[in-house]
Structure 1
Amino acid sequence: MFFKRFALACLFLVFTSFWAAAQTEVSDVGNFYPLLEAYSARQNCRLSFLAKERKNVEEWRKEARAKLNELLAFTPPPAPLATQILDTIKREGYTQYLVRYNVNALQQTEAFLLVPDNLTKSAPAVIALHDHGGFYFYGKEKHTLTDNRPQILVDYIKNLYEGRTYADELAKRGYVVLCPDVLYFGSQKLDLDKMPSLTKENFPDLQSADEATRIKAFNKLANGQETIMAKTMFTAGTTWLGIILQSDRVAIDFLLSRPEVDPQKIACMGLSLGGLRSTYLFGMDARVKAGIIAAFSTTYAYMLQEYVRHTWMMYVPRQYQYLDLPDVASLNAPRPLLVLNCKQDALFHPDGMKAAEKKLSAIYTWMKAKDKFTCNYYDVPHSLTIAMQEDAFAWLDKWLK
């Protein structure tokens, strides 16, 4: 009896010591972090490939994708693409088309389609997924060449992409490239005419004669509305990322409708939100043969304490119970996957990047495909520098050409 009581006392001391230590940790959610961290640790990532020994990879993949699709919760009525070509510009080495097509029965988007010159056979294709950056006024224009760009857009591209629009570089190198707008950006941005009471009274700069001032005011308004958008989506029974993924999957449908595209050689890549979009599109759609994720790789464990301050667009309720963020990308393993991390990235804990790399490396190693997964680190802030772009191009050339 003595030893039993002694053991219980020791366990109590261990628990209370742990709890006291946890209470002293600094967190974005303060004193609530210990509660939420402890809850998150209960049976999380249960559908991860690493959660238990997997004898049948395809059965695991099917089960995990089905659960994630359920959690993403967006299956709208389908619709024919009904593609329209709105504009055509001949550029050096390729032609740029501005196209519009149906994403579903209730939603359309616009995209740039870049087709290289002198194609003699179907070519590999890349879906270039635009970033977030708090810049809602534009979408596809942030990584694709456009004429008469306002200085605010020029500065943005210089800051995040070292001044180079990588979609056009891909087209010059022989890739068909599709750059679609996603919900809330560019051609799908907020329609201010549908919310006059909010915009006129609270955002007078929207009426400014200065273009940069108007764009900044719009971005500020849209940023503030993200919370309302997310609440409305959750109330409607869906998720923002579910809507995004459905739209990005239709981008593959669009590419498959084009005679210039080799259906066996489709890849996706993107920076930041584009990296998140690439994670889910690569993981959830077997038609994607190679993926590149730039500046959006971590594990949820390292986001819970201090690094969860991201756009509402990334959150899928209850996903952590089943799949961590790198687990999503692993759903298409052993297809080629390149992750590009920024050592000075203020949005992600460096240990979270390493933890995600460790997970993915273990999965690709188990599948005897170590050469098909690479994770690079660059001593730069959150960005997709020219050096990173060049590494991405080399990766695509290796696996798609």
Structure 2
Amino acid sequence: MSQKNINMKNNRRDFLKIAGMAGIGVAGVSVISSLSACNDSGQVSKVPVATEENMDVSKQSIIGLYGSWAYSITENKIPDYSFRNTKWQDIEKWRVAAKERVQDRLGIPDIGGTPKVTVRKQFTYDGLHIEELSWSLPYGRTTEAILLKPQNAKGALPAILAFHDHGANKYFGTRKITKTSDKQHPDIVSHQKEYYSGLAWANEIAKRGYVVLVSDAFPFASRRVMLQDVPADQRNGLNDQNPEDSANIKAYNTWAAAHEHTMAKSLFSAGTTWPGVFFAEDQKALDVLCARKDVDATKVGCGGLSGGGMRTVFMGGLDPRIKCAVCVGFLTTWKDFILHKSFTHTWMTYVPILPKEMDFPEILGLRAPLPTLVLNDTHDGLYTLPEMEAADKILAEVYKKANATDKYKCSFHPGPHKFDSKMQTEAFDWFDQWLKS
């Protein structure tokens, strides 16, 4: 099978199972109808990615003849707030100015100080001490979180803020990357099998001697939009009853996918952005983690796959408390989104105006010279391989100019969108190298 055909196959599957929600913003209800009618193989007739012709990204743009014009706005220009720009020689002066610009574009909401944490339950499982936590923010429902660390651990340990993925599944959050008993929801079993080699990666890194915190992101799981809280004519006849039923979960996720453009437009109208809200809430989780007595707050890392990788880009780039970052399956260029791949992504990625001032990987580059690992999959249908390679080149240039080439690494693993056991081993070794030394 040719690489092009492999990419086509992966793209069709990933469109439905990973992040095919941005197509809602492009094609409206017709895509939702296709999503709801799809079979287990992920094949649908209405998704506009099924032919070899429209998969040839070297010849066509997803916005037709407007693609070349849109890209020309930033083409062959090193943005003003790029550290690669020759006007920046002092890395600290650049970082201050660039961070201020990114934070301004994000419209990060002020959601108060460190929240009060409630320990709902404590127990041990599979060699780990586990705590079920919750905290309240000034809006929305209570945030639920899982904390894991080695059983009988003593003293302050290095820590990981672990981000769950998007996975086109807003019903689940922390459960996607944790395991707290032998009984798991069947949807989680299949999710972990497909994307994580059947492993709960937050558990696996905790066993290496870390305190690991996983919280539900906005608007997933405990933070999801409840149907009872929206007008009846916006519910598509659904309700919140029997929530753990797989059929109801599927129906909710289809509804939540269609709701993304509504959420995004409302956030823009409020003067903020989806990445800005992510960052604000993830910072509260980081506050909670760093405030713990069993955590060495000078040795904290973060990482995650897909949507978790996107959150790593912003958290790793903007908060200096993150001493080591691992971005998995979410690093490409704005060019890739403009011309080829915005339809495979949600509304959660985009920051208006910022692409004229900084390329996407340079957001993560704001952390230079702090250690950063990027893990990509060669046949990831969410991106084009040339633009993943271009993003790697951009970050490598940033770290070279920062005299920190040993602190940056990018690896390409074979296969589709995933964070499998081999990739996890590389990520965990990277954390060990920089957080345990």
TM-score, length of structure 2 as denominator length: 0.82
Alignment partner, residue 212 of structure 2: 177
CA shift for structure 1 position 199: 6.2
CA shift for structure 1 position 157: 1.1
1-structure distance, mates of 2:236, 2:338: 37
- The reply on whether 1:128 has 2:146 as its aligned counterpart is no
Partners of 2:157 and 2:210 within 8 A in 1: yes
The Cα offsets for residues 2-55 of structure 1, whole Å up to 9 and x where unpaired, read as xxxxxxxxxxxxxxxxxxxxxx94111112212212223385621010022422
Structure 1 unaligned residues grouped into runs of 5+: 1-23
Paired AA for residue 319 in structure 1: L
CA shift for structure 1 position 297: 0.8
1-structure distance, mates of 2:407, 2:282: 23
Alignment partner, residue 89 of structure 2: 55
Q: Are the structure 2 counterparts of residues 45 and 202 from structure 1 closer, same or farther at C-alpha, using a change threshold of 3 Å?
A: farther
Partners of 1:79 and 1:104 within 8 A in 2: no
> Where does 1:147-158 land on structure 2 (aligned, <5 Å)?
147=181, 148-158=183-193
CA shift for structure 1 position 203: 4.1
Q: Are the structure 2 counterparts of residues 153 and 196 from structure 1 closer, same or farther at C-alpha, using a change threshold of 3 Å?
A: farther
Structure with the larger RCO, 1 or 2 (CA within 8 Å, 6+ apart): 2
Residue 243 (structure 1) aligned to one of 256, 277, 283: 277
Aligned partner of residue 26 in structure 1, secondary structure:
coil
Partners of 2:111 and 2:137 within 8 A in 1: no
Residue 354 (structure 1) aligned to one of 365, 384, 389: 389
- The reply on whether 1:287 has 2:327 as its aligned counterpart is no
Partners of 2:149 and 2:211 within 8 A in 1: yes
Partners of 1:79 and 1:103 within 8 A in 2: no
Q: Are the structure 2 counterparts of residues 207 and 196 from structure 1 closer, same or farther at C-alpha, using a change threshold of 3 Å?
A: farther
> Where does 1:372-387 land on structure 2 (aligned, <5 Å)?
372-387=407-422
> Where does 1:24-173 land on structure 2 (aligned, <5 Å)?
25-41=59-75, 45-104=79-138, 108-147=142-181, 148-173=183-208
Paired AA for residue 74 in structure 1: I
CA shift for structure 1 position 208: 7.3
Alignment partner, residue 5 of structure 1: none
Partners of 2:84 and 2:401 within 8 A in 1: no
Partners of 1:44 and 1:320 within 8 A in 2: no
The Cα offsets for residues 67-116 of structure 1, whole Å up to 9 and x where unpaired, read as 00000002324144111011222112221111112445767421111122
Partners of 1:93 and 1:171 within 8 A in 2: no
Alignment partner, residue 430 of structure 2: 395
1-structure distance, mates of 2:416, 2:350: 23
Partners of 1:82 and 1:102 within 8 A in 2: yes
Percent identity reads 33
1-structure distance, mates of 2:386, 2:77: 22
CA shift for structure 1 position 210: 8.3
2-structure distance, mates of 1:53, 1:129: 35
Q: Kindly tell me the number of residue pairs found equivalent between the two proteins.
A: 377
| Farther-moved stretch of structure 1 (384-393 vs 96-105) | 96-105
Aligned partner of residue 341 in structure 2, secondary structure:
coil
Q: Are the structure 2 counterparts of residues 154 and 319 from structure 1 closer, same or farther at C-alpha, using a change threshold of 3 Å?
A: same
Alignment partner, residue 28 of structure 2: none
Partners of 2:111 and 2:280 within 8 A in 1: no
The Cα offsets for residues 177-233 of structure 1, whole Å up to 9 and x where unpaired, read as 0001111101101111112624664448x7679811011001000000000000111
Paired AA for residue 92 in structure 1: D
Partners of 2:227 and 2:238 within 8 A in 1: no
- The reply on whether 1:339 has 2:343 as its aligned counterpart is no
The Cα offsets for residues 303-335 of structure 1, whole Å up to 9 and x where unpaired, read as 211111211000110110111111011111111
Partners of 1:79 and 1:102 within 8 A in 2: no
Structure 2 unaligned residues grouped into runs of 5+: 1-57
Q: Are the structure 2 counterparts of residues 366 and 201 from structure 1 closer, same or farther at C-alpha, using a change threshold of 3 Å?
A: closer
- The reply on whether 1:216 has 2:264 as its aligned counterpart is no
Partners of 1:340 and 1:376 within 8 A in 2: yes
Paired AA for residue 156 in structure 2: S
Q: Are the structure 2 counterparts of residues 82 and 105 from structure 1 closer, same or farther at C-alpha, using a change threshold of 3 Å?
A: farther
The structure with the largest alpha-carbon Rg is 1
